[in-house]
Structures are given as C-alpha cells and as structure tokens.
Amino acid sequence: AQSVTQLDSQVPVFEEAPVELRCNYSSSVSVYLFWYVQYPNQGLQLLLKYLSGSTLVKGINGFEAEFNKSQTSFHLRKPSVHISDTAEYFCAVTLSGGGNKLTFGTGTQLKVEL
Amino acid sequence: EPEVTQTPSHQVTQMGQEVILRCVPISNHLYFYWYRQILGQKVEFLVSFYNNEISEKSEIFDDQFSVERPDGSNFTLKIRSTKLEDSAMYFCASSGRNIAGNTIYFGEGSWLTVV
C-alpha cells in the first residue's frame, strides 16, 4: 500500500522569503502525486499534480513541485511567499494503475509572517 | 468556478443517533467520494461511488456507513449509529473522470461532533 510522509507539521516563514514543504512517499508501484491547499474555513483545492512527463510541475499561485523518483519525494516550493499563502498544505498520492483513492499526508501548516 | 457544496457545515449529535451528511457534487461529474479528517490526523478516504454503486471503500467504511445518490443532484453519507470516534470533518468530492484524467474537487466539509 502507498503512504505519504510530511515531516514538517508547521513551517513559519517571513513574507517574500522562499519556502519548501517536504513530501516523501512510499509505494512499490508507479504513482501519481498531488498537492492540495486548504485555506481557513474552506475545502481542499488542488495546487498541482504530477502524472508523467517533466518532473518539474508548475501549479497555481506561483507554486511548483519536483518529482524525484530516486528519493521518492515531491517537495513543494515557492520562491517568494505572501501572507495570503497562509494555509494547510497536503501532499497526496494515488496508484497510477487505476483506482480513485487519494492517500494523504498529515499536512503542513504554512504560516507566513510580516 | 464550479464547486461542491455540503450541508450542514456543522452538526452536533448524540452518540447512537443517525446522521445524514449531504453533498451536491458538480453537475456534470460522474465520480463521487467521501473523505474524513479526524482532528489532528490525516485526511482519510472513505468511499468512491460511480455509476450508482460503490466502486471502492476503505476499512473505515463499515456497515455503519452507507452512501446514496437519491436523485440527480445529491450525494449523501449516512452514519447509522454514531460513535464518539466518528467525530471528524467529512469532505465530499467529485470528479468528471478518474483521478488521472481529471481533478477531484472537494467541498468545504461538514464538521460532525458526536457527544
């Protein structure tokens, strides 16, 4: 079975600083990878996804992530964060061979400070 | 921007009572899901529903749970006899095709508190 690890439960960062949110996965077969964001009192919104092709994936709001198969990682990055990026970020994985079940990590709370 | 809507946003119920959580998926979507998140824990898959039947369910989705699409627009999750450990945020989601082919859209969640 696949699993996702987000080691950082909270990441504080100053506005305009770069940020990286870490995600590692475990699976014996090929996977698709996703990052979702949850703003306060809102649902989960897809930031970006990796299905195949280029390992660098660009998403909404200036975020990008890089798929690294050898390190089984899919870290999320943004070169310059804004206050409005304060939210909970979830990494998720599903098997590429089929099925519709997303397996989520525990989430990382990004807090952007002035 | 199309959205998935859920009601109620928050429900408090007594242990042993039945609860129905309602969802209106995006109108042209074909796949429907329920996930839940216990406070401080991971978002967990409960069930997926396609073509009027359950296509996949997790170990959590036992006989206490059921899903239904009673008409062309609603998708419900019923918990027959709630337990304290059912307290969680329940997310409904929908997609036009399977995950690889399309984005899953999530609702804002229904927060269930069992007392």
Question: Would you call A49 and B91 a contact, using CB atoms and an 8 Å cutoff?
Answer: no
Q: What is the mean pLDDT of each run of 10 residues along chain B (115 residues)?
A: 90 97 93 92 92 92 94 92 96 81 84 97
Nearest to A99 by CA among B74, B48, B41, B103: B48
Residue A49: list chain B partners with CB under 8 A.
Answer: 103
CB-neighbour burial class of residue B52 (10 A; exposed 0-12, middle 13-18, buried 19+): exposed
pLDDT digits (tens, 9 = 90+) for A58-111: 999 999 999 999 999 999 999 999 999 999 999 999 887 666 788 999 999 999
Nearest to B64 by CA among B114, B101, B98, B26: B114
Residue A92: list chain B partners with CB under 8 A.
Answer: 43
Nearest CB to A100 within list B42, B99, B109? B99
Residue A43: list chain B partners with CB under 8 A.
Answer: 4, 91, 106-109
Nearest to A47 by CA among A64, A24, A30: A64
Decide if B61 touches A, using CB distance below 8 A.
no
